[in-house]
Amino acid sequence: MLRVGLTGGIGSGKSEVSRRLAARGAPIIDADLAARDVVQPGTPGLGEIAAVFGPRVLRPDGSLDREQLGQLVFADPGLRAKLNAIVHPLVHERMRQLEQQAIAAAGPAAIIVHDVPLLAENGLGRGFDTVLVVDAPDDQRVQRLTATRGMTAAHAQDRMAAQASRQQRLAIADIVIDNSGTLDDLDRRVEEVWAVLRDLAGRADGMSDPPSTVET
């Protein structure tokens, strides 16, 4: 089994890469989906969040008001740390469960991709055999966020600033996927990366060489 960590800053195109890897047969363990699972109504995670942040972060139906909670923690590093202390251990355990299910379904030779937006921020790179970083220039990411998500340029820049820097992500990469071109370019790059991952899985070890960039 090859455990792959996939990350990239907001607007980099990480989700496009994740979809392409899934289409090639890789089970995807999505940290964002796991984070939603652990705060569903009735879960201990949601109970802890409500106890710390109060009923203002709950919707009338008892579900988590993610937008309200996001506004609170985005502006306050202390509150963000409290939220992370609740959620991160639960997400880690949920992803471990999902990985075990994926192994049971796909077999021990599987290439299992963990899609983790905050992989660099949380220092999780050493937990994977190989780390893929999807990269694009900051100005291009701002353009994508304003065009596809309706953000203002200032909001997009604030969201980017709240994450690890481009340099910090590149520093943990075993393979860098340049996504500054077209979707056809990305298709070719992902195909090249998939060949590398299959080779690594066949050798039953990860990549220990310095970071590299996959070229077309």
Per residue in 47-78, pLDDT tens? 999 999 999 999 999 999 998 998 888 878 89
Angstrom distance (rounded) from CA 140 to CA 156? 11
Give the residue-averaged pLDDT of 172-199: 96
Contact at 8 Å (CB) between 109 and 1? yes
pLDDT tens across 8-48, in order?
Answer: 999 999 999 999 999 999 999 999 999 999 999 999 999 99
pLDDT in the model for residue 216: 36
Quick: pLDDT tens for 101-121.
998 888 777 899 999 999 999
* pTM, 2 dp: 0.86
pLDDT for position 202: 84
What is the SS3 string spanning 16-74? HHHHHHHHCCCCEEEHHHHHHHCCCCCCHHHHHHHHHHCHHHECCCCCECHHHHHHHHH
| Intervals of CATH 3.40.50.300 along the chain | 1-27+110-216
Backbone CA torsion sign across 65, 70, 76, 78: positive
* Alpha-carbon gap, residue 79 to 13, rounded angstroms: 29
Report the candidate in 155, 73, 160, 156 with the shortest Cα–Cα distance to residue 121: 160
Q: Does domain 1-27+110-216 have CATH number 3.40.50.720?
A: no
Buried b (16+ CB within 10 A) or exposed e, 79-105: eeebbeebbbebbbebbeebbeebbee
